[in-house]
Amino acid sequence: MCPICVGIVGKRCQSGDTARTLQRDTVAVMRLFTSRKPVIAMIHVGALPGTPAARSSLREIERAALAEAKMYRACGVHGLMLENMHDTPYLRGEVGPEIVSAMAIIARMAKDASGLPCGVQILAGANLEALAVAHAAGLDFIRAEGFAFAHVADEGLIQSSAAKLLRYRRQIGAERVQVWADVKKKHSSHAITADIDIGATAEAVEFMRGDAVIVTGSVTGDAPQLGDITDTKSHCRLPVYLGSGVTAENLATFYKAVDGFIVGSYFKKDGHWKNAVDAKRVKRFMAAHAKLRC
């Protein structure tokens, strides 16, 4: 075992240039934010044109997203992430140019208005499209499901996308855009990889050149098991973000265990993702975060 891997049981050996690249990329992720444990607020973009629930014009959707971005900035969050959460039922693994173009326009406006680091996710598993949006809009990262190992979602089988995604990133010159990968993604069955635990999945994300790992509960709004976070951290050296279920009330439980927080449902009225952003809830969460930071 090489010196870099001493004490890391079961990990693939990464030495020389690979280890130096990992260290550099990890530092780049953490330098995005002004906080050591950043809070990244979700903007659940309204149902986009062409989707079954679409009721608003693109201009109206833009205005709503822009208002949320400005509110989040005023409340002191450290970053934003946009997601086409209202586009149910989701297409599997790809979306049309109408979604890509709309998300690029909205994301660029949100980033420019907030001045914050910004990411994007396009459901379901449309990781190449998310990368194209991030590159065009000048965003900093994407959230990718199905990066390493396959799983079965309500849209069907989601295959690993790492190889194709990172080659596409190189081809379009988007290497500044980081890839944050979900492991054992929520709203999914992982029976086909039941013999691969969450720690081994996180290890694979690192081996396959992901930039950060996201751990969630089983559904939107549910917190993960603390043991899953510990297992993930013990198997990879990438930053680990809590991707669901964190609240002002349970933040202290997870604060020391992870490197940052992606918050959606808690910031909405009554804690439900479909509702409007509630500035009082955002401020309550950020106040709890500030106390733990001291």
- Using CA atoms, how far apart are residues 213 and 93, in angstroms rounded to an integer? 20
Span 49-72, average pLDDT: 97
In a domain, 4, yes or no: no
Q: Would you tell me the crossing angle of helices 226-235 and 198-207 to the nearest 10 degrees?
A: 40
Helix (H, G, I), strand (E, B) or coil at 197: coil
CATH classification of the domain holding 256: 3.20.20.70
Q: Which of 94, 92, 95 is nearest to 50 (CA)?
A: 95
CB 118 within 8 A of CB 83: no
Task: Indicate whether 65 pLDDT > 50.
Answer: yes
Q: What is the pTM of this model?
A: 0.90
**In the chain, what percentage of residues exceed pLDDT 90?**
81
In a domain, 8, yes or no: no
Question: Binning pLDDT at 50, 70 and 90, where does residue 19 land?
Answer: low
Please write the tens of the pLDDT for every residue from 199-258: 999 999 999 999 999 999 877 777 889 999 999 999 999 999 999 999 999 999 999 999
Question: Binning pLDDT at 50, 70 and 90, where does residue 30 land?
Answer: low
What separation in angstroms does the CA of 232 have from each of 8, 18, 156? 13, 20, 26
Position 181 scores a pLDDT of: 98
In a domain, 214, yes or no: yes
- Containing domain of residue 145, as a range? 43-293
In a domain, 145, yes or no: yes
Question: Binning pLDDT at 50, 70 and 90, where does residue 17 land?
Answer: low
CB 39 within 8 A of CB 286: yes
Chain mean pLDDT for the chain: 91
Give me the amino acid identity at 15.
S
Please write the tens of the pLDDT for every residue from 146-197: 999 998 998 899 899 999 999 999 999 999 999 999 998 768 788 888 999 9
Span 18-35, average pLDDT: 70
- Using CA atoms, how far apart are residues 117 and 30, in angstroms rounded to an integer? 11
In a domain, 1, yes or no: no
In a domain, 89, yes or no: yes
Position 15 scores a pLDDT of: 52
Give the phi and the psi of residue 277 in degrees, each rounded to 5. Answer: -65, 135
DSSP states of 107-147 as a string? HHHHHHHH-S-EEEE-TTT-HHHHHHHHHHHT-SEEEESSS
Please write the tens of the pLDDT for every residue from 96-130: 999 999 999 999 999 999 999 999 999 999 999 99
Full strand arrangement of the beta sheet holding 188-189: 156-158, 151-153, 188-189
HSE-CB for 192 with a 13 A CA cutoff: 12
Position 9 scores a pLDDT of: 36
Position 5 scores a pLDDT of: 36
In a domain, 19, yes or no: no
Position 31 scores a pLDDT of: 85
89: left (phi over 0), alpha (psi -120 to 50) or beta: beta
Position 221 scores a pLDDT of: 73
What separation in angstroms does the CA of 169 have from each of 129, 164, 176, 185, 259? 11, 9, 9, 22, 25
Please write the tens of the pLDDT for every residue from 134-143: 999 999 999 9
Task: Indicate whether 16 pLDDT > 60.
Answer: no
Q: Which of 55, 67, 58 is nearest to 100 (CA)?
A: 58
CB 224 within 8 A of CB 217: yes
Position 14 scores a pLDDT of: 54
In a domain, 16, yes or no: no
> Total domain count for the chain?
1
